[in-house]
Every structure is written in C-alpha cells, then in structure tokens.
Chains A and B, each alone.
Chain A
Amino acid sequence: MITGIPQSGAFRWTYRAYVTLFFVYLALPLVTVCVFAFNDSVFPSLPWEGFTWAWFFGDEAPYIGVFHERPILRSIVTSGVVAFWVALLAVFVGTCNAFLFVRHEFRGKGFLYILMLLPLIIPGIILGISILVFSSSVANFLEDATGLWFDGLRPGLILVVLGQFSFITTFATLVISARLQKFDPSLEEAALNLGATRWGAVRAVTLPFLFPAMAAAGVVAVLMSFENFNTTLMLVGSDAPLTITMFDRLKLGSTPVLNAVSLLLMVVSALLGLASLLLQKRSD
C-alpha cells in the first residue's frame, strides 16, 4: 500500500466510486438472476409479483419447479456423469504427466511441454469440430473396413467426455506438477532405504503428498466440465448436458425455472470453489 503520496480528496473519491461501480457491474447480472428465481410470475422480468418458492418446488403448470422438471433433472444427471469421467481421466493423465515432466529428462521434452499447453490456446469450438471431424472419419473408415457399427465415435456422451478431457487435462497437469515440484525427493529415498519397493515408496509417500493437489485438480475439472459449453455444443448427441439444455430453453424464451437452476448452479459451484481453495491452501 502506498502512503505519503499527495492525492486530492476529489480524486480519491472518484477513484473509490469507480471501484464501487465496477463491483456493482460484476454483481448485477448474478444478483438479478438469483432475485428473479423467486418472482411469482411466468416471465423472469419486472414487475415484481411477490415472493414464491414455486420455481423450485412447484408441481402445477405453469409453475413447474426445478425439482419436478424431468428434462432438466435428467440433464443435471448427464452433466454429473460427464463431469465424473472427465475429472477421473484428467486427474489420472495429469498425475502421469506431472511425474513425467518433473522427474524425467528426455529428448523432445520442451516440445512436448509446449504441445501439452496448446489446448489452452485453441478456441473451444475448434477443439470440438476437429474432434468431431476426426472421430467421424475414423468411424467411417472402421465401418467400411469391418462392417460393424461404431456409435461411440458419433456425437454423443463419449465424445463430449473426450472433448472436455482434451483441454481440462492441461489444467490438471499444471496444478499437480506445481505440487510435485515442491516434493522433497529425499523422503522417497528414505522409504527406499527402509526397504520399500519403488512403486511402494511412491504409493506410500509421494501420492499422499500429492493428494491435495489431485483433489483440487479434480474439483476444478468437475467445475469446468459442468460449465463447458463451446466444445460440448459441437459434440453433443441426443443426451444433452445441463448447459446445452439451458441454452435450448433460452433460445425459445425463458421462464424463472432457468433462474432457479442458475441459482442452484451458483450455490454448488461456490461450494466446490471454496473446497478447491481450501484444498490448495492445505497443499501450500
């Protein structure tokens, strides 16, 4: 903090007002979404018709709440399944990558590292269409060659998982590598001296040390998977994850059910975000 610099009172107040306005700008859309989840009206807009829980628990048309709205519940489950597999795969591959990049020296390491970072700078839509084009040509080729069907390579949940995994793994790798770099190798050597096998030492000493970072990477992966839209949009089949379902609804015209879903999403991601912050704090 800088002290002892002469600043006019007017300047200081203008600056403060600007900062306040900025935070109002940040909060405004989110607060609006939350508030209108409780409006007793079929449109998420003014005038305010009174407070209601109907958009959460209602079961009479037109007030069908989130918890009675089948398509939305189903898409939440779909999103959950996708997020689970993405997190599992990303943490596994991320951990392997961390050991590879931190512990091993080999030719082409720098090049592979850059290649590993590339998914961060490829727009999500492009990742989606490239995987779509590639998997379709592989499927066509295999079907022509064998006469069997390869539905897993057509747009659907498997491709959605692979598409999200393709860039979330980079984040997992970065988070887990950062933790592994802080590890003191002499701890593992001590385990080896005490008669542990190589794998036994890694399992008993290194992996527990890495666990907070792996868990944090997993939480971040779940969050990113839940929120992802661009890549998913290009790869989705008949089972739509939550963001796609909400997008289709939004295009048709919105009801406060979407506000209610959004509010629930915010609560869950805030909890997950807090969890990942706590985990990262523990790992520092």
Chain B
Amino acid sequence: MANDRAKLTFWLLLAPLMIWLLTLIVLPHLGMFLVSLREKVGVREYETSFANYAVFFNEPLYWNTFARTAYMSVTATALTLFIGFPIAYYIAKLTRGRTKTTLFLMCLIPFWVSELVRTFGWMILLRETGVISNVLQYLGLVGGPVEMLYNDAAIMTGLVYTSMLFMVVPLVTTLDSLDDSLIEAGYDLGASGFAILREIVIPHAMPGIVSGCIVVFMLSLGNYLTPILLGGKDSLWFTGLIYNQFITRFNWELGSAFGFLLLGLSSLIVFVGLKLSRQSLGKTMAQT
C-alpha cells in the first residue's frame, strides 16, 4: 500500500519533467533534424536527402558567414576574458568587505536590464549623430561627424559588453577560493608577478576560465540583436541567415539545416571545452 503510493508519487513527479523535455526539447529538435533532411522536389513532395546541407557547402556566402560568426565569437570570447580577468582578480583579491560586495553587484547591474536596452544605449553612443561623435567634435579631435556604428568593432563592443557578466562571475568565484598565502609564498620565494600569474593564479582559475569562455562563446554565437542592430544590414551573422530563411524566405528546410549546423558547432565547443578542463556540464552550469 505504502509502496504503491510512493510509486504513484514518483510517476506524478516524473510526468511534468517528461512532458516538458519530450514535447519542448527532444521532439522539436528531432523534428527540426528531419525537416533539414527534406528536399523539396515538387509541390508538397519531398525526398530525404542531404541537399540542404549541400547548399550550405556550395554557397560561399553561407559558409563564409558561418566561419565569420565563429571567428568573431572566438575573438569576442578572448577579448571578454582579457578585459574581465583583471577586474575579477581585483574584486576577488584586492578588495574586501563592503567594497567587494559593492563592486561585484555593480558588475551585475547592467544585466538586470534587457539586452535590447543595452544595445540601444550603444546605438545612441556610437552613431553618426551620437554622443561620442559629438564629444570628439567638441574636443576638436575630428573635423566632422564620425559614424562608429555598422562595423565589426561596434559588433565586438556590444558582444563583449553583453557577455561580461558571464565571464566575471565564474572568475571571481574561482579566484575567491585561491588561498592568498600561495601568492605570498610565491613572492617570498622570489617569483616575478608574471611568473606567479602563470604558475599559480591561472592554473587555479582554469575551471572558471573554461566555464566563462564556454558560456560567452555560446551566447555570442547565438546572439541576434547585437550583430543586427550594431552591425547593420551587412553584419553577416549566422543567426540572421537563419531568421531570413525562416521568416523572410519561408524556406524552413534550409533554415532547419542552418539551425542544426549552428547547434552542432555550439555543442562541439561546449563538449571540447568540458573535455579539456575535465569538468561536467552540471558543475560548470552551477557556477554561472
């Protein structure tokens, strides 16, 4: 009797999980994969083939955009790491008490605001009639208005800005757990600042670096708003291509194939990152 009831509870708890995962995650992705294998041969006639993937590899625009998106995301990840690491180190090691909490919370504040608002802010700053252009003219550094929007640097600025939190938080967490006396011991033994960074701090922070990099890369790769708004019409971001195939061209077969390629790349990076750092998905995600 009691056993039956325990079983019933178990099944009742399992049901929502299974419904959620099956109908919203597993089946849609299987369905998308099947659609991506469909080739249109006539009106409402389809054949199974890899034709959509062939289109991707035969059309330079498509795979160039794909490669460009990947390359820009890697650059954005590296930049976020280089800019964020000194900040995380400062917060974790060079401040304490109230200052530390305040600085840490200040890092989080921009991310309570929608990405759209943040991007809008950058548009006001960077555009031809924008704040920075006006300030430069006022200072006499430039002769006329300068357009700083709609180029790769603008996209990069926006991507780094949007991703910063996801780098700084895991870095602060791992650096916090580094025993200060190790660093002091290093100095006492005569190591230079750079040697200590290389031999003690970075190896210890590696789990944080890896999980930060994974998350930032994923977010940049899947970003749509920042490249489209800051990069303009020719931003050539892969998510933009997916959107066009789905909404503008109504070519769901090709769009699904693109979606699967992006998902594949993003999963591959996550997998390789986890393997390299010998971490599990659960632990990495718990840190962020």
Which residues of A does B touch, CB under 8 Å? Answer: 1-2, 4-6, 15, 18-19, 22-23, 25-30, 32-33, 36, 43-47, 92-93, 96-97, 99-100, 104, 106, 112-127, 129-135, 137, 162-163, 165-166, 169, 174, 198, 223, 226-227, 229-230, 233-234, 243, 246-247, 250-251, 254, 258-259, 262, 265-266, 269-270, 272-273
Q: Contact flags (1/0) for B27-63 with A, using CB distance below 8 Å?
A: 1110110010000000000000000000000000000
B112 near A273 (CB under 8 angstroms)? Answer: yes
- Specify which chain B residues have a CB less than 8 angstroms from the CB of A229 in the assembled complex: 114-116, 224-225
Q: Does B281 contact A (CB under 8 A)?
A: yes
A45, A47, A259 — most chain B CB neighbours (10 Å): A45
A126 near B161 (CB under 8 angstroms)? Answer: no
B124 near A44 (CB under 8 angstroms)? Answer: yes
Which residues of B does A touch, CB under 8 Å? Answer: 5, 9-10, 12-14, 16-17, 20-21, 24-29, 31-32, 35, 83, 86-87, 90, 93-96, 103, 106-107, 109-110, 112-118, 120-125, 127, 129-131, 134, 161, 164, 180, 183-184, 187, 218, 221-225, 229, 239, 242-243, 246-247, 252, 255-256, 259, 262-263, 266-267, 270, 281-282, 285-286
How far apart sit A114 and B48, CA to CA, in the bound complex (Å)?
Answer: 31
- 9 shortest interchain CB distances as A-B pairs: A29-B121, A123-B222, A130-B28, A134-B28, A166-B24, A227-B114, A134-B31, A100-B13, A1-B96
Choose from A116, A133, A174 the contact partner of B256 (Cβ within 8 Å). Answer: A133
B125 near A123 (CB under 8 angstroms)? Answer: no
DSSP majority for the B interface?
helix
B259 near A246 (CB under 8 angstroms)? Answer: no
A46 near B131 (CB under 8 angstroms)? Answer: yes
How far apart sit A255 and B166, CA to CA, in the bound complex (Å)?
Answer: 31
A133, A166, A258, A270 — most chain B CB neighbours (10 Å): A133
B94 near A2 (CB under 8 angstroms)? Answer: yes
Within the complex, the shortest CB–CB distance from A195 to chain B, in Å, comes to 15
The verdict on A134 contacting B222 (CB below 8 Å), with A46-B129, A243-B114 known, is no
How far apart sit A262 and B118, CA to CA, in the bound complex (Å)?
Answer: 9
